[in-house]
Amino acid sequence: MDRDDPLKNQGKSQTISKNKSKTKSQIKSQVKDQNRGLDVDREDVRRRLLAKKQELVSRVEQTYRDIHGREERGSTDSGEQSVEMESRDLMLTLEAEARSELRSIDKALQRLADGRYGRCVHCGQTISEARLLALAYADSCMRCAA
């Protein structure tokens, strides 16, 4: 390292400063798996998955309340009943999709805990970082998902 050249040393000192600002647990959770070439901050992924899970749980609970609240105060008008049935069907579909997404999140959290996060469950290849950033609970690479 050239101590007399501040431009050469500037980048190195910034890297050291960045690493000092992280806690030991953050550094430990930053995983670089050489076999996969995937750089994942496990704690960040876990936080994102848990936040999405909480959002979906709230949505499912609200949908459940909406569905059962409507059943109690159903209309006697046949036109309104038809609209209510369509709305109920839509809410049931949205609830089923949210429950499916919750299962996917739980599986992703398990893969993260087991050290299998980022690997395609079908072919074992690496799931691209871009795909995991877009869909943190993705369990398939793009080729297998197609």
Residue 50 belongs to some domain of the structure: yes
Amino acid identity for residue 78 in this structure: S
Residue 146 belongs to some domain of the structure: no
Domain tally, the chain: 1
Is this model's pTM higher than 0.75 or not? Answer: no
Residue 8 belongs to some domain of the structure: no
Question: Are the CB atoms for 32 and 21 separated by under 8 Å?
Answer: no
142: left (phi over 0), alpha (psi -120 to 50) or beta: alpha
Q: What are 22-52's pLDDT values in tens digits?
A: 444 443 444 444 334 466 788 999 999 999 9
Give pLDDT, residue 39. 66
Query: Which residues lie below 8 Å from residue 65, measured CB to CB, with a gap of 6+?
Result: none
Residue 21 belongs to some domain of the structure: no
Q: What are 81-122's pLDDT values in tens digits?
A: 788 888 889 989 999 999 999 999 999 999 999 999 999 999
- Which domain does 106 fall in, by range? 42-117
Residue 6 belongs to some domain of the structure: no
Residue 101 belongs to some domain of the structure: yes
